Homo-oligomer: A and B are copies of this chain.
Amino acid sequence: MSYERSSGRAANALRPVRITRGFTCHAEGSVLIEFGRTQVLCTASVEERVPPHKRGSGEGWVTAEYGMLPRATHTRSDREAARGKQSGRTQEIQRLIGRSLRCVFDLKALGERTITLDCDVLQADGGTRTAAITGAFVAAQDAVNLLLAQGKLTTSPIRTAVAAISVGIVEGTPLLDLEYIEDSACDTDMNVVMTGVGGFVEIQGTAEGAAFSRAEMDQLMQLAGDGIAELVRLQQVALAAPLVKR
């Protein structure tokens, strides 16, 4: 007999996903993405310069920063700006988001400009990094669309979509898209990032308690693949709608 999820969600079901484009007004792309109660504001900022290691290369750069509001969580956590440094977890996550987005960009086609994806968690209930990647892609697409509309780009540097989901095994049951309570209880936790055409970009699996087997891993990969395909479809639906600036 398997693990019972909250609200009767099926083991292979995503939480309700909501993608709100144009959430704030200044950024070239601005998306509020919600995976259930997890809410992440993803903005894409375009700057007409590149970091030192890309100067004069003719290539652009795509990078990400991640943050969590102090009271995005059940109990208040310290503000990283006040503590004076970003935690190892924060750095790990923002490096993951950056790599994931760069993987679907043709940096040559982007030209010598930088797109910075700021992913700030307003409310956390598990899966903030996967929501961030999925939302950041939509924000990046909006920023690229703007560059195309402005004539700064003539062809899109985006090769395909990218999205991410978490999977895990809780009390023996493989589950898609863990919420916080499941994440805390799981034996194995895996974050999977895939492209719009089903290629793997990142796999990060961690045994929290006991090690996991090859068979379990295969189950999780299957779940993740199906979930990401659905997320990519939802990104397309969101992007097909006209962008209404607030």
Residues in chain A within 8 A of chain B (CB atoms): 24-27, 30, 37, 39, 41, 43, 45, 47, 65, 67, 69-76, 79-82, 84-86, 88-92, 94-95, 99, 103, 116, 118, 120, 122-124, 190, 194-195, 197, 199-207, 210-214, 217, 221, 225
Q: Which of B24, B26, B194, B221 contacts A211 (CB 8 A)?
A: B194
B residues within 8 A CB of A210? 199
Whether A214 pairs with B204 at a CB distance below 8 angstroms is: no
In the complex, what distance in Å separates the CA atom of A221 from the CA atom of B197? Answer: 22
Q: Assembly of this chain: how many copies?
A: 6
In the complex, what distance in Å separates the CA atom of A195 from the CA atom of B197? Answer: 33
In the complex, what distance in Å separates the CA atom of A214 from the CA atom of B197? Answer: 12
Whether B76 pairs with A47 at a CB distance below 8 angstroms is: yes
In the complex, what distance in Å separates the CA atom of A203 from the CA atom of B89? Answer: 17
Chain B residue with the shortest CB-CB distance to A202:
B206
The 5 closest A-B pairs by CB, nearest first: A199-B211, A80-B81, A88-B91, A45-B76, A43-B71
B residues within 8 A CB of A116? 70, 76
In the complex, what distance in Å separates the CA atom of A201 from the CA atom of B204? Answer: 11
B residues within 8 A CB of A94? 88
In the complex, what distance in Å separates the CA atom of A25 from the CA atom of B195? Answer: 32
With A69-B43, A200-B217, A217-B203 already in contact, the answer to whether A86 and B92 are too (CB < 8 A) is: no
Whether A199 pairs with B221 at a CB distance below 8 angstroms is: no
Chain B residue with the shortest CB-CB distance to A103:
B207
In the complex, what distance in Å separates the CA atom of A213 from the CA atom of B45? Answer: 31
| CB of A242 to closest CB in B, whole Å | 21
In the complex, what distance in Å separates the CA atom of A82 from the CA atom of B88? Answer: 11
| Residue among A82, A95, A116 with max Cβ neighbours from chain B (10 Å) | A82
B residues within 8 A CB of A221? 214, 217
